[in-house]
């Protein structure tokens, strides 16, 4: 078991034969041409039922073997019929009345004594229905039911930050921890795209409908004719799974690739150049989903280079996509690190940037522009308030950008199950006009009625057979797809489902993985950064490991503002950077005062003495100490919990996971001691429990006789034992 099949293993369940009479005996796909999603659905059903139960089904393409509403007599005539509503009603006009209304990509599923009807609003929806049915079967559930399922939003994309070529490193993935790119190698699209096809299958099984295949820090050469041919080959392997391809663009391409003297979005030659690109792409990929653009951010070119607005830039692309039915996702991650490079300018707050740049543009965007907003105003931290920009875009559609790849959250070397965090974010109520206004309702287009909107997840799988570099990290990808389909999903229920499909439905396996995973995000927050201080990861090198000092005075403006007496960033209107004022009044008022700010965001919004008392009654500094001990203690329990599963999990995955959990347990201690030592030294305040600074219980490296090691000066010093 190397992880390659993810949760689609179709592993034989115990007592498989006993279920045969509850299963269909034949599969009928309606109007399915080879390579279409309905055809794929038929193939999956046949493979799946064979794998899970050892029952081989006849596969046909007409209604001849049944009409999907057969008598369900449990005999050998029961049929699984799969297709679009349209195809079904065409051959069964009388059936129309009994069918529910479906949204785009939605499906209807009816199972009655082996007679199965799987209908999609479109072909992709039919495939989703087939995957849903198979996932129940794989969990041993063959009971009768009827289900109508519609997605929460039309945009359910993933982003891959894959480089075609990166300073000599072929096919690397930015912030990817699972190997090289499955799409690119040596500046071109890989000749063998088997993995890309397998990826599409995994994504389709959780309802994802498009993939941006290349890095947001886009290489202009993505658009050479040869590479466009390559992109078309990727789209070809995606298509049988109903997954569309999208491309990230570099704003300066007309100049750097096209040889024009400018890339000003209002210059007609530039517009014509981009129109040519859109036409060429759609000639090769008629069903291309569209573009993703990162502009005027972290050194990337954009419309502001020419004093044009972000709307001017986005609309230029929108205009060229319009005739082809494409959409553009334009990122709100716009900030200029240079202007923030004024150390300790209290007004310079990167959190303010997105609203600052997008305010006043809400009614300026074309209707096929969607703004893609990271969940927090800074950058994928372990705890952030939800970006207030969601409430400033009323007419313009938005997608929320979540990160499945654990950039700041342990880079897949730490188990951190993210669905509980996403749930909090999606359920957050902004109280726009004092009415319920959750993030999910805003991006799905329900709160402010709009056609386009949804979700983008930065996934960054790679060539490693585990996809993400860690078997357990795949629960995050599973939960991402399921939650964006239905944000009311329960993170724990999703985890159990994923575990049953990925490992086993053994109760102990389910309980252990659930216990560890559900504790993992709070534990990670505890041993890394508390009270909204943001993770204290090394900010300049790789975003990994503790380095609290690196947070201050860097040009990216993520300051903790810690000195000898106090800590936190004052983002109030009355005295700070004013960020709290970007929220609707009820929420702004909450964040404006330390008394009403939730403890877990206190230091995000306020600068307070270390001795400030939290709602919990503890001082800030004691909370830091205690939380770091508590969080790392939880991580210490993971290896033993996992070991209790020995024999219940195949050896390959058992060892791989154990290795990571042992590492995490150790690294959590490094985190604990680094952060505690750092703030202990800074504040001079003793730990009430006498732990910090004493290390009495620890075996120091200096006290050991080491052979085969050499001394190395660790930076920062507090992450080391005696600085080495």
Should residue 407 be labelled a site residue for ligand BDP when binding is judged by CB under 6 A? yes
**Nearest distance from C-beta of residue 407 to ligand BDP, angstroms:** 6
Number of neighbours of residue 556 by Cβ within 10 angstroms:
16
Number of residues binding to ligand BDP, judged by CB under 6 A = 9
Q: Which residues are catalytic?
A: 298, 379, 407
Sheet holding 115-120, edge to edge: 58-60, 26-29, 79-84, 115-120, 107-112, 145-149
Is residue 564 exposed (0-12), middle (13-18) or buried (19+ Cβ within 10 Å)? exposed
Closer to ligand BDP by Cβ: residue 380 or 428? 380
> Going residue by residue from 209 to 228, which x/- string records binding to ligand BDP, judged by CB under 6 A?
-------xx-----------
Q: Is 371 in the site for ligand BDP (CB under 6 A)?
A: no
Q: Are 37 and 124 in contact (CB under 8 A)?
A: yes
Strand partners, 116: 80, 111
Q: Where are any strands of DSSP class E within 3-140?
A: 26-29, 58-60, 79-84, 107-112, 115-120
Query: Is residue 451 within 8 Å of residue 325, measured between CB atoms?
Result: no
Is residue 538 a contact residue for ligand BDP (CB under 6 A)?
A: no
**Of 217 and 463, which CB lies nearer to ligand BDP in the complex structure?**
217
Of 87, 76, 95, 150, which is closest to residue 123 (Cα–Cα)? 87
Nearest in space to 292 (alpha carbons), one of 226, 360, 211, 350: 211
* 554 part of the interface to ligand BDP, by CB under 6 A: no
The residues, any chain, with a CB within 8 Å of residue 271's CB and separated by 6 or more, are 265, 316, 319, 320
Any idea which residue has 């965090």 for tokens?
A: 421
Q: Match 């990861």 to its residue by tokens.
A: 537
Of residues 325 through 354, those in contact with ligand BDP by CB under 6 A are 333
**Residue 155 · residue 370 · CB < 8 Å:** yes
Centroid of chain to Cα 189: 24
β-strand pairing of 155-159 with 454-458: parallel
Which lies closer to ligand BDP via its Cβ, residue 380 or residue 524?
380
12 contacts: CB under 8 Å, gap ≥ 6? 51, 52, 53, 54
Looking at residue 566, what DSSP letter applies? E
- Closest distance of CB 631 from ligand BDP, Å: 23
The reply to whether 673 sits near ligand BDP by the rule CB under 6 A is no
* Residue 294 is a binding residue for ligand BDP (CB under 6 A): yes
Taking residues 248 to 287 in sequence order and writing x for each that binds ligand BDP by CB under 6 A, - otherwise, the string is ----------------------------------------
Of the candidates 501, 410, 393, the one whose C-alpha atom is nearest the C-alpha of residue 452 is 393
CB of 622 to ligand BDP, least distance (A): 32
Cα 177 to Cα 219, 372, 666: the distances in Å are: 21, 23, 20
Residue nearest ligand BDP, Cβ-based = 379
Q: Could you please report the per-residue DSSP string of 204-242?
A: HTTT--EEE-S-SS--GGGGSHHHHHHHHHHHHHHGGGT
Token pair of 243, please? 């997954």
Task: Write down the least CB distance from residue 159 to ligand BDP, Å.
Answer: 9
Q: Which residues bind ligand BDP (CB under 6 A)?
A: 174-175, 216-217, 294, 333, 379-380, 407
């Amino acid at each position: 078991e190397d992880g390659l099949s993810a949760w689609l293993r179709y592993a034989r369940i115990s007592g498989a034969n006993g279920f045969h009479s509850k299963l269909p005996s034949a599969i009928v796909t309606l109007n399915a041409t080879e390579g279409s999603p309905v055809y794929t659905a038929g193939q999956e059903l046949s493979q799946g039922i064979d794998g899970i139960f050892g029952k081989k089904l006849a596969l046909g393409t007409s209604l001849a073997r049944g009409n999907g509403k057969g008598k369900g007599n449990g005999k050998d005539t029961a049929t699984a019929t799969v297709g679009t509503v349209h195809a079904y009603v065409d051959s069964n006009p009388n059936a129309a009345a009994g069918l529910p209304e479906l949204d785009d990509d939605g499906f209807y599923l009816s199972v009655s004594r082996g007679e199965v009807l799987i209908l999609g609003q479109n072909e992709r929806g039919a495939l989703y229905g087939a995957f849903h049915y198979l996932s129940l079967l794989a969990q041993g559930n063959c009971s009768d039911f009827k289900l109508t399922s519609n997605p929460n939003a039309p945009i359910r994309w993933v982003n891959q930050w894959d480089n075609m070529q990166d300073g000599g490193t072929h096919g690397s993935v930015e912030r990817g921890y699972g190997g090289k790119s499955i799409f690119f190698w040596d500046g071109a699209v890989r000749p063998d795209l088997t993995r890309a096809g397998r990826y599409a299958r995994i994504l389709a099984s959780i309802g994802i409908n498009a993939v941006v295949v290349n890095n947001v820090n886009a290489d202009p050469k993505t658009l050479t004719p040869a590479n466009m041919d390559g992109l078309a080959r990727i789209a070809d392997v995606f298509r049988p799974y109903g997954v569309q391809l999208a491309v990230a663009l570099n704003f300066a391409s007309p100049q750097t690739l096209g040889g024009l003297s400018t890339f000003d979005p209002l210059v007609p030659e530039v517009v014509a150049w981009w129109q040519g690109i859109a036409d060429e792409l759609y000639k090769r990929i008629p069903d291309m989903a569209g573009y993703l653009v990162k502009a005027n951010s972290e050194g990337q070119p954009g419309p502001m280079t020419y004093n044009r607005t972000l709307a001017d830039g986005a609309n230029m692309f929108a205009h060229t996509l319009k005739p082809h039915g494409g959409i553009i996702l334009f990122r709100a991650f716009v900030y200029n690190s240079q202007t923030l490079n004024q150390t300790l300018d209290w007004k310079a707050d990167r959190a303010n940037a997105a609203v600052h740049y997008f305010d006043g543009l809400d009614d300026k965007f074309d209707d096929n522009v969607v703004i893609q907003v990271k969940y927090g105003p800074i950058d994928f931290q372990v705890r952030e308030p939800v970006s207030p920009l969601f409430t400033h875009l009323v007419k313009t559609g938005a997608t929320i950008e979540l990160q499945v790849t654990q950039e700041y959250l342990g880079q897949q070397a730490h188990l951190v199950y993210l669905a509980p965090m996403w749930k909090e974010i999606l359920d957050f109520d902004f109280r726009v006009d004092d009415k319920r206004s959750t993030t999910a309702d805003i991006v799905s287009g329900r709160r402010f009625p709009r056609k386009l909107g949804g979700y983008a997840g930065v996934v960054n799988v790679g060539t490693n057979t585990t996809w993400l570099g860690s078997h357990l990290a795949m629960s995050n990808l599973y939960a991402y797809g399921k939650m964006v389909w239905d944000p009311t999903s329960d993170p724990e229920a999703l985890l159990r489902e994923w575990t049953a499909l990925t490992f086993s439905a053994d109760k102990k396996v389910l309980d252990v993985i659930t216990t560890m995973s559900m504790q993992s995000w709070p534990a990670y927050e505890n041993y890394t950064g508390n009270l909204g201080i943001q993770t204290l990861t090394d900010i300049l090198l790789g975003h990994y490991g503790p380095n609290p000092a690196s947070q201050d005075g860097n040009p990216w403006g993520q300051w903790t503002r810690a000195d000898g007496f106090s800590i936190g960033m004052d983002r109030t209107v009355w005295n700070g950077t004013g960020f709290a004022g970007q929220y609707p009044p009820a929420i702004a008022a909450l964040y404006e005062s330390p008394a009403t700010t939730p403890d877990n965001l206190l230091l995000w919004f306020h600068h307070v003495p270390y001795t400030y008392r939290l709602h919990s009654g503890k001082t800030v500094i004691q909370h830091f100490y205690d939380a770091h001990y508590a969080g790392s203690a939880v991580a210490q329990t993971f290896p033993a919990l996992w070991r209790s599963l020995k024999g219940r999990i195949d050896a390959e995955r058992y060892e791989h996971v154990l290795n990571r959990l042992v590492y995490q347990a150790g690294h959590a201690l490094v985190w604990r001691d680094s952060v505690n030592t750092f703030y202990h030294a800074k504040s001079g305040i003793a730990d009430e429990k006498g732990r910090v600074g004493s290390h009495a219980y620890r075996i120091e490296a200096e006290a050991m006789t080491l052979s085969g090691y050499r001394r190395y000066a660790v930076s920062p010093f507090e992450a080391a034992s005696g600085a080495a």
